[in-house]
A and B are shown apart, each in its own frame.
Chain A
Amino acid sequence: MKRGKARIDVSRLPEFAFGNRGLMWWGVLGFLAIETTMLVICFVSYFYLRDRVLEWPPPPTELPDLLVPTINLVVMLLSIIPMYLVDRAAKRLDKRRVLIWMVVSIIFGIAFVALRAFEYYALNVSWDTNAYGSIVWTIIVIHTFHIATEVVETIVITTIMALGHAEPKYFVDSSDNALYWYFIIGIWVPCYVIIFLAPRFL
């Protein structure tokens, strides 16, 4: 386009914006849609495989334990609170509060990643025992990759900001990061139900 005559002036529009006004939010949403689809396909495979056998879990496989997974579920759900506070502080460009709640969220994150290790024992089955073992292991491993990545991501953003970067884009990043955090916790709820509760009813 040439420099035309009639113009609108965009020089004074905001130079950053939160949520769906910005680009990164849409990028996060895209990845989130892809990963949800992948997990949903695993869920569907779970029920498909359930339908192939008479008993679930197939004997002599035992039912999974509930204690540690349930504790961890609670820890994960609670971690949404500090992350929500990060989100809120970020939208107010409040660097101090962002950093404080980021650190709290990271502590929660490290806690639930560590507890995750014990959840594997709670499965009471190995991936190579039978198809039931294969699918529950796959779901939990995929999810573990996600929480590990998200915790690392949160640590990286926190480090960048703690090192003195306080340009508005890092606040936008923190807010979009919170969206991803909500997602990985939220998607664990159906994973938990399928892995630990469903075998008791199916």
Chain B
Amino acid sequence: MRTEERVAAAAEAEQDARERGRTGEIREGDLPEEEESRLLEKTWSDGPGFWGWLTSTNHKSIGKRFIITAFIFFVLGGILAVLMRIQLARPENTFLGPDLYNQIFTMHGTTMMFLFAIPIMEAFAIYLVPLMVGTRSIAFPRLAAFSYWIYLFGGITLYVFFILNIGPDMGWFSYVPLAGPEFSPGKRVDIWSQLINFTEISALAASIETITTVFKMRAPGMSLHRIPVFVWAMLIMSFMVMFAMPAVMTSSLFLTLDRLVGTHFYNAAEGGDPLLWQHLFWFFGHPEVYIIFIPALGYVSSIIQTFARRKVFGYTALVLSMIATGFIGFGLWVHHMFATGLPQLGSSFFTAASMMIAIPSGVQIFCWIATLWAGRPRFRTPLLFVVGFFFIFVAGGLSGVMQASVPVDLQLHDTFFVVAHFHYVLIGGAVFPLFGAFHYWFPKFTGRMLGEGLGKLTFWLMFVGFNVTFFPMHQLGLQGMPRRVYTYLPGMNWGSLNLLATIGGTVLTLGVLVFVINVFLSRRKGEAAGDNPWGADTLEWGTSSPPPAYNFLRIPIVQGREALWARTEDEPVAEGLRTDCREVLLTKILDAEPDNKMVLPSPVIWPLLMGLAATATFISSIFTPWALPGGMVLAGLALIGWGWPKKKDERCERESVDEMSDEERRREAARAQ
């Protein structure tokens, strides 16, 4: 049935419903424009004051908090990195002792991976995906609130224990037997494995929200082949999260059980195997790299399209190569384990897969170069960061292809060459696009432009600083310097390159500092941005900056892949959603035809309470297994409170089935199949 026919068919039923006396509903178009936007603002806003802040379920408030929190963890992780660089600046330095150094490099890796990189990508998805697909909210707003709280509490827990000198000290991938009960007594490892639970639950919840939003809430007309590349990237990331994160949850569950109740998963004496940990961890750990990298591809595509002022070249090739990356990303994990003596055939397979993943990456890079080539590029700060990304990421990719070869990998395993390689890939592949994204979307988040002069300074300091820090590490690795050593002897001749890296680190830090200053200055005094300062094409630029609580006064009808560029003069929109309730339009998964509507739940405190219940469970389960059943009861109560009918929501609900006649009920049921 076509939309018009369906609407016509539904008209009759609805007319009856109205005649039955469902009065008091206010819909779009019932009020004059100004009153209507006031009502929508009231309907979709968080409650007032501190309570409103605690109960917020608005995806933009949550997204902003998420971004700020993740950035604070980035700064904390960065401070730890600076401490390590100071320690390594000269041989036999005594700035940090070995125990503290172990804690610091573990905290640095854990923070950057689990508390910064994954969460900030989700944060961008939570803020931007609903705007880009043209709807008023994320799919499960309470779940979004929960995913923020649990993440925040997890991060705080880790740092509190670190300050109490019980920070994890066995490296961010926590290899057994070092992390097992025999070699790591005490609670340090347990804190790490509980942190995994916090951040994974947060990430999994966020991925479900994102997938459902993209599948069901796209504006009419945004069929699959019109979804912005950014949204595709977030969708693919979410799927990868769903299938990768359970591996690390399971493996850290095994680790917790080994340490807490004496199971033998990793105990070779009783039939367990330490290598099982490595397999499970890297089955998560390698896709994780792409979980961080694929959203960055989304940022890069958005920025390039906007600043090249033409549509992106090879949309289909780009999307398919991202999907290919998502799949191949799951077939690479063993290349982290070449040094463990695996069978030859296995090694060959994973060598081939590791080289193969360069193909889709190559396709992407060529598509972007073609876009820039054929466009009229404006080299504003966001595009500079993208160009920086090209250079750094390609260099990191090349050293990656080198290490895909087993003999080279055996030589370089656990040296600074590896440290150099993955910082090129991760900082080049994720942090540079991310800073581009900060500069690009800052006007949308705040309504003000980020200073261009300071922005360019940020870029050059970061670009130069990054390369001066990490390029020498390739050489250090080739000269045999192992990673994770707290100091080295003067006779090794590693001193001057290490000093150079430390100087580079200082410059890089300055770059981040300039960025922070720029944000604070521009937040207050920046140039007003207007709706669409860059002339971009995606829907978030079609509403005011910052967007109102309800995102769009009307749900737009999308007419082409570049939604705003393709928009015709008459600006078609969908109309008829309720303005006095949080009603959203659900569309069909393939062609985004309007299908049905739904009222989303109002803000409540339960997601926060649920977060607290989970936090209490995780922390106490470090000390006793009985925390688990106890926590189940707490979490169960919080869940029941969460789902229990709320008085304040009743106004917006469809009338009770008890009040319908048999015939009405049959008709309603038929419409809902």
A134 & B242 in contact (Cβ 8 Å cutoff): no
Which residues from chain A contact B574 at a C-beta distance below 8 Å? 7-10
Once the chains are docked, how many angstroms separate the CA of A20 from the CA of B665?
Answer: 21
A3 & B554 in contact (Cβ 8 Å cutoff): yes
Once the chains are docked, how many angstroms separate the CA of A11 from the CA of B640?
Answer: 32
Once the chains are docked, how many angstroms separate the CA of A24 from the CA of B212?
Answer: 9
Which residues from chain B contact A35 at a C-beta distance below 8 Å? 246
Contacting residue for B246 out of A10, A37, A129, A165, CB 8 A: A37
User: Is A132 at the interface (CB under 8 A from chain B)?
Assistant: yes
Which residues from chain A contact B271 at a C-beta distance below 8 Å? 49, 52-53, 58, 130-132
B597 & A13 in contact (Cβ 8 Å cutoff): yes
Chain B: interface residue count, which band?
35 or more
Mark each residue of chain A from 133 to 151: 1 if its CB lies under 8 Å from any CB of chain B, else 0: 1110110000001001100
Once the chains are docked, how many angstroms separate the CA of A21 from the CA of B666?
Answer: 18
A23 & B598 in contact (Cβ 8 Å cutoff): yes
The minimal Cβ–Cβ distance linking A47 to chain B, given in whole angstroms, is 11
A23 & B139 in contact (Cβ 8 Å cutoff): yes
Binds B, one of A62-70, A91-99, A113-121: A91-99
Which residues from chain B contact A30 at a C-beta distance below 8 Å? 207-208, 211-212, 242
User: Is B216 at the interface (CB under 8 A from chain A)?
Assistant: yes
A2 & B657 in contact (Cβ 8 Å cutoff): no
Once the chains are docked, how many angstroms separate the CA of A167 from the CA of B595?
Answer: 20
Which residues from chain B contact A127 at a C-beta distance below 8 Å? 257, 261-263
Which residues from chain A contact B153 at a C-beta distance below 8 Å? none
Taking CB atoms and an 8 Å cut-off, the chain A residues in 155-202 that contact chain B are 156, 160, 165-169, 171-172
A27 & B10 in contact (Cβ 8 Å cutoff): no
The minimal Cβ–Cβ distance linking B556 to chain A, given in whole angstroms, is 4
Interface size on A, residues (CB 8 A): 69
Once the chains are docked, how many angstroms separate the CA of A34 from the CA of B140?
Answer: 17
User: Is A85 at the interface (CB under 8 A from chain B)?
Assistant: no
Mark each residue of chain B from 33 to 61: 1 if its CB lies under 8 Å from any CB of chain A, else 0: 10000000000000000000000000000
User: Is B164 at the interface (CB under 8 A from chain A)?
Assistant: no
Once the chains are docked, how many angstroms separate the CA of A63 from the CA of B34?
Answer: 74
Name B33's closest neighbour in chain A (CB-CB): A3
Which residues from chain A contact B570 at a C-beta distance below 8 Å? 4-6
A6 & B572 in contact (Cβ 8 Å cutoff): yes
Which residues from chain B contact A92 at a C-beta distance below 8 Å? 665-666, 669
Taking CB atoms and an 8 Å cut-off, the chain B residues in 162-221 that contact chain A are 204, 207-208, 211-212, 215-217, 220
Taking CB atoms and an 8 Å cut-off, the chain B residues in 543-573 that contact chain A are 543, 552-557, 570-573
Contacting residue for A1 out of B204, B552, B645, CB 8 A: B552
Which residues from chain A contact B596 at a C-beta distance below 8 Å? 13-17, 21-22
B263 & A165 in contact (Cβ 8 Å cutoff): no
A16 & B553 in contact (Cβ 8 Å cutoff): no
The minimal Cβ–Cβ distance linking A153 to chain B, given in whole angstroms, is 8
Once the chains are docked, how many angstroms separate the CA of A6 from the CA of B569?
Answer: 10
Once the chains are docked, how many angstroms separate the CA of A8 from the CA of B257?
Answer: 57
Once the chains are docked, how many angstroms separate the CA of A12 from the CA of B583?
Answer: 13
The minimal Cβ–Cβ distance linking A19 to chain B, given in whole angstroms, is 8
B571 & A5 in contact (Cβ 8 Å cutoff): yes
B645 & A26 in contact (Cβ 8 Å cutoff): no
B261 & A160 in contact (Cβ 8 Å cutoff): no
Q: From A12, A16, A165, A167, name the one whose CB has the most chain B CB atoms within 10 angstroms.
A: A12
Which residues from chain B contact A156 at a C-beta distance below 8 Å? 640, 643-644
B656 & A48 in contact (Cβ 8 Å cutoff): no
Taking CB atoms and an 8 Å cut-off, the chain A residues in 40-62 that contact chain B are 41-42, 45, 48-49, 52-53, 58
B265 & A14 in contact (Cβ 8 Å cutoff): no
